[in-house]
Amino acid sequence: MRLATVDLVVRYPSTTRLALDGVTMEARDGCLTAVLGPNGSGKSTLLKAILGTVPVRSGRALVDRKEISAWSRRELAREVGVVPQTETIAFPITSREMVAMGRYPYLGAWSSERDVDRRAVAAAMDACDVADLAERDITTLSGGELQRVRIARALAQEPRALVLDEPTASLDIRHEMAILELLRASADRGMNVLLITHGVDLAARFADELLLLADGRVAASGSPETVLRAEVLERVYRWPIAVSVDPTSGTPHVTPRRAPPAKDPDNAR
């Protein structure tokens, strides 16, 4: 299940600035790809374009080598699980009912759950450590608990690709690491995992490939060692940065430096 874009250009209505400007990228089976970049760099727009939820001005968005426009929403939902950054739930439901929504692409409008659906829901809830929340109304969950339920819903689809926008937002250290370990294991089993994250160091530890965006363009792509270089990051984030090697993981470790002190205009003369 290959996810790719070719010279992708996106511009939102009533704006002159391009949200994406000629972005070419690829995410492959068995690979965890992390998309990084400052706020407003086009990360979420890229995921939306790949999924066909924003209009593309030019270029191509491909899912399994097929144009996104050629996929029906039901077909796409069977192949790609999605965890958006935010969503609104308009009615009260339990955590288990929310996870079970992941089975909708396999069920008709009036179909009842089958054994295979119940097994998929249970496995997804166990994987995300939310089985004990099954009967809780989602309005009573903490931000981190709700995020884990949302990820379980995507896993219940049993997709070939998983696309996530800031999946560890609001999570404590234990559950952040557990989710990233889960995503890493999913990729190791052959799934295509594509995620947006601001966690540069964790991306370096868990991802096979990084895509660094800046102002809607690709600033760098490749392995963490290739992308996470001080001169590249300083240009993209516009802040002094040091890059070292994490002694525990052996991956790049990014440290923002203190801003240089402002010059005293009286002493500058």
**In CATH terms, is domain 3-261 a member of 3.40.50.300?**
yes
From its phi and psi, is residue 250 left (phi > 0), alpha (psi between -120 and 50) or beta? left
CA distances from 137 to 37, 109, 265 (A): 35, 23, 60
pLDDT in tens, the chain (269 residues): 899 999 999 999 988 999 999 999 999 999 999 999 999 999 999 999 999 999 999 999 999 999 999 999 999 999 999 999 888 887 889 999 999 999 999 986 677 899 999 999 999 999 999 999 999 999 999 888 999 999 999 999 999 999 999 999 878 898 899 999 999 999 999 999 999 999 999 999 999 999 999 999 999 999 999 999 999 999 999 999 999 999 999 999 999 998 777 776 666 55
pTM: 0.91
CA-wise closest residue to 51 among 162, 214, 184, 188 = 162
